[in-house]
Amino acid sequence: MHILTNNLRNRFIIKIMSFFTCLLCLSIFFIYCTLIQNFIHRLEKEQLATQQDILNSIQLNTEEQYNKIMDVVVNMHTVKYEAKTVSEIIEQGLYENKTTRANDYRIESFINNITAHNQGIFDIILIKASNGLSFYGSNIHTRSVIAEYDFLNDYIAYQEDLFTNKIQFHSSYQQPYIIDSTNQTLIQGTGLLVNINNLSSSETIGYYIININPEIFLNQDYIMSKKLLGHILIYQDDNILYNNSPFSMNKLTNIIDTTNESIHFDGTYLLNKKRLKKSNWTICHILPQNELAHSTKQLYLRVFSYIIIIFVILIIAIVIASIHYNKRICKLMNQIQSVENGNFDIQYTDSNHDEIGQLSQAFNKMCMNLKNYIQKEYILDLERKNATITALQATINPHFLYNTLDAIRTKSLISQDYDTSEMITLLGNIFRWSTETKKVMVRIEDELEYAMCYLTLQNIRYEHTITIDYQVNDDVLKYAIPKFTLQPLVENAIHHGIENNLQDSLITIKAFKELDNIILKVSDNGLGIKEDVLYRLRKQINIESINTNKHIGLRNINQRLKLIYGESNGLTINSKYQQGTTITIIIPCTIYTGEEEDDDD
C-alpha cells in the first residue's frame, strides 16, 4: 500500500501521463468509429425525410405570411380607402401641416381592418413625418401605445438605418413605445411611406412600424401533429428574426455561417436549412442528436460499460508504469543526495533514452561541470590572495605620504604661498579619500565633497577662472552612490569641455530627487561634442568591456551603475557642439547604511 501511495504521488511524470492519454484517446476513438458514428449516420438518414417535410410546410406558411405583410405595405400606397390611399392622406397632412378628424378616422379604420384580418400582425403604427402624429391599431387588447410618445425624437432619430424605402425586418424584444404585460419577442418591420406617383422625390411622407408575431410562421398545429423535435431559427443575412433555441449568440453565428443544406454541427446537432423564394429569409431546423430516437439510450449504456472496462485496464496499466518509473526516479534522487553531501565523482547510469534517461545524462554533466568549477574557483581564489599580497607590498604607507604633504603645506604657509598650501590640503583630502578602498558605496554628500575638492583644486590651478554652480538639494545627501562616480565626470568636463577656453567657463553640479530616483547632472558650457563623435561615444560607453587600467572612465562608470542597479539605470550624455555638454546619472533611491564592503575587505 505504501508503494502504491508513493507511485500515485508521481502523476506528474510526463511519460506516464502520455501513456494514459494515448490509451484513452485510442479507446474512445475505437468506440466512436465502430458504434456511435455508424448509428448517428443511420439516424440522420431516417430523420432527414421527416425534417424535409416539416420544413417544407414551415417554408410555405412563412412565405404566405410574408406575402400578407408585403401586401399590407403595398396597400398603404395603392389601395384607396374612401377615395384616398393611406399615403395620400398622410401626404396631404404633410403639406397642409394639419389634419382632420375624418382623415384620422380613415387611417385608423385602415389599420384596424388589417390587424383584424391578419392574426399574425400584433399591431401597426403609422407616424407622420411632418408633426410626429401617430396612428395605432392592434388585435391584442393588452397592448397599447404610450400616450404622447415622441416617435420622431425618441425612436426614429436613433433608428434611422431601419427606415428605408424597402421594408426592413429585425427582432425586437422590447418596444419602448408599447405598453404590454407580456414582453414577447417580436419581428418588427419598418420602412418609409413615399409618394409612388413621384418616386424621384427624396421627401419622406411618413414612417410605418409593423409588429409581427413570429409564432405565426411555424403553423404550430401541423408541427405538433408531426411531433417535431429541436429548435427553429429564422434569420435574414446575419440578422436573427426568430429563435427558440437556448444557444448563445456565438453558436448561433456559427450556425448562420454554415452554407450546407444538411450538415453536422458540433457532432451533437443536425441542421436543415430552407431559404424563402421571395425574401432573403432562411429557416433553420436545429435537431439535437440525443432526441433523434429513444433507442440510443441502450447504445449509450453499452458504450459506458465499455469505457468503464477500459478505464479499469488503464488504471492498472498506469499503476504498473508508475512503479517502474518511480524506481528510476528514486535511484536518481539518491544520487542527488550524494552530491548534496559533497560527492561529485558519482555517475548515474540509465540506458533509456526517454526523459529520465536525458535527465540522468544532464545530471552527470552537471556534476562534472560543478567539480571543474569548484577547482577553477579554488585556483582563482589563490591567485586573488597572491595579487592582494603583491598589491599590499607595493603600496606606499599612507601615513608617510600624509606627513610629507603636511610638511610641504606648512612650509608653504611659512612662505605665505597660500594657494600652494590650499592645493596641498585638497590633494591630501583627495588622496585620503582614494586610499579608503573598503567601501563600495558612499553617501552622496561625501561623493560630492570629494568631487568639489577636485574641482576646487583644478580651479586654483586655472587661477580661479572656472565658475562653479552648485545646485544640490539637501534631501539627497543621505542616499548611497557608488564610490568614484562624480569626480571622473568633473574631470571630463574640465579636460574635454572648458580647458581650451577658460574665459567665462561654467561647471554646474546638480543633484535632486525625482519620484523614487536620484538625478545627478554635471554640465559645462565648453566646446561640446559633434554629432558623429557623440554617437560613437554613446556606443562605446555601452560596450561591455572591463579595463583594469581605467576604473574611472565613462564606460566603467556606466557599466558599474548597470551592474549595481540594473540595465534601466546608468549614464547618459547630451551635448551640442559649441554649446556645452551634460552628463546625467539616474540611480534608485537607496539609503546609505555604511555596511557595503568591498570584495577585498
At 210-247, the pLDDT tens digits run: 988 888 877 656 666 666 778 888 888 888 888 888 88
CATH code of residue 467:
3.30.565.10
Residue 45 maps to a domain: no
| CATH code (residue 278) | 3.40.1840
Give the total number of structural domains in the chain. 4
Residue 198 confidence (pLDDT) above 50: yes
Residue 35 DSSP class: I
Burial class, 588, CB count within 10 angstroms (exposed 0-12 / middle 13-18 / buried 19+):
middle
Give the pLDDT score at 326. 74
| Better-scored residue on pLDDT, 222 or 123 | 123
Residue 308: pLDDT band by 50, 70, 90 thresholds? Answer: confident
- For the four alpha carbons of 359, 365, 370 and 373, in that order, the dihedral sign comes to negative
* CATH code of the domain covering residue 100: 3.30.450.20
- Which tens digit of pLDDT belongs to each residue from 135-175? 888 888 778 888 888 888 888 888 888 888 888 888 887 78
Could you tell me if 298 and 304 are in contact, meaning their C-beta atoms sit under 8 angstroms apart?
Answer: no
Weakest-pLDDT range from 122-136, 184-198, 336-350, 425-439: 425-439
Q: Is residue 469 part of a domain?
A: yes
Host H or E run for residue 585: strand 580-588
Give the pLDDT confidence of 547-562 residue by residue, as tens digits. 444 434 788 888 888 8
In this structure, the number of other CB atoms found within 10 A of the CB of residue 334 comes to: 11
- Mean per-residue pLDDT, 288-292: 68
Residue 75, CB-side half-sphere exposure with 13 Å CA sphere: 12
Residue 82 C-alpha cell reads as 374612401
Cα atoms found within 13 Å of the Cα of residue 584, Cβ hemisphere only: 10
| 204 and 252 belong to one structural domain | no
- CA dist 208 and 137 (Å) reads 12
Coil, strand or helix at 435: helix
Residue listed under C-alpha cell 484513452: 24
Identity of the amino acid at 52: Q
Confidence class of residue 248 from pLDDT cuts 50, 70 and 90? confident
- Cell triple for 12: 506528474
513 and 453 co-located in one domain: yes
- Does residue 210 form part of some domain? yes
Cell numbers at residue 55, please? 420544413
The per-residue pLDDT for 588 is 92
Radius of gyration, CA atoms only, the chain: 46
Verify that 186 and 94 share a domain, yes or no.
yes
Q: Which residues contact 106 (CB under 8 A, 6 or more apart)?
A: 81, 82, 84, 86, 89
478: helix, coil or strand? coil
Q: Are residues 259 and 270 in the same domain?
A: yes
Cell output for 220: 404550430
CA–CA dist 544, 558 (Å, integer): 10
Rounded CA gap, 221 and 235, in Å? 22
Neighbour count for residue 516 (Cβ, 10 Å): 8
The residues near 233 (Cβ < 8 Å, ≥ 6 apart) are 240, 242, 243, 245, 252, 255, 256, 283, 284, 285, 286
Amino acid code (one letter) for 141: H
Output the pLDDT for position 393.
Answer: 46
What kind and span of H or E run contains 520?
strand 517-524
- Shared domain check, 202 and 274: no
Query: Do residues 212 and 226 both lie within one domain?
Result: no
Distance CA 274, CA 540 (A): 74
- pLDDT tens digits, one per residue of 361-410: 787 888 888 878 887 777 777 766 665 555 444 444 454 455 556 556 56
The verdict on residue 170 lying in a domain is yes
Contact 254, 300 (CB under 8 A): no
d(CA 461, CA 465): 9
Looking at the fold, whether 197 and 117 belong to one and the same domain comes out as yes
Q: Do 224 and 201 belong to one domain?
A: no
- Do 264 and 351 fall within a single domain? no
Question: Can you say whether residue 369 is alpha, beta or left, with left for phi > 0 and alpha for psi between -120 and 50 degrees?
Answer: alpha
In a domain, 336, yes or no: no
Say if residue 225 is in the same domain as residue 249: yes
Predicted pLDDT at 97: 47
Assess if residue 544 is contained within a domain. Answer: yes
| More confident: 539 or 331 | 539
Contacts for 227 with CB less than 8 Å, ≥ 6 apart: none
Q: Which of 379, 394, 409 is the last residue of a domain?
A: 394
Residue 523 forms part of a structural domain:
yes
Domain that holds residue 553: 436-588
Sheet holding 186-193, edge to edge: 134-138, 121-128, 206-212, 186-193, 168-172
Query: Are residues 584 and 480 part of one domain?
Result: yes
**Domain presence at residue 7:** no
Phi and psi at 570, nearest 5°, equal 145, -150
Boundary (domain end) residue, out of 217, 241, 275: 217
Residue whose C-alpha is closest to residue 47's, from 176, 226, 238: 226
* Domain end position, chosen among 160, 182, 217: 217
What is the Cα–Cα distance from 223 to 213, expressed in whole angstroms?
A: 17
The C-alpha cell of 315 is what? 488504471
Picking from 64-68, 197-201, 359-363, 463-467, which range would have the lowest pLDDT averaged per residue?
Answer: 197-201
Question: Do both 441 and 522 map to the same domain?
Answer: yes
CB atoms within 10 A of CB 435: 13
- pLDDT reading at 255 higher than 70: yes
Residue 308 corresponds to which cell in the numbers above? 468503464
Over range 26-33, report the average pLDDT: 69
SS3 519: strand
Pairing of strands 441-443, 262-265: unpaired
Q: Does residue 36 surpass a pLDDT of 70?
A: no
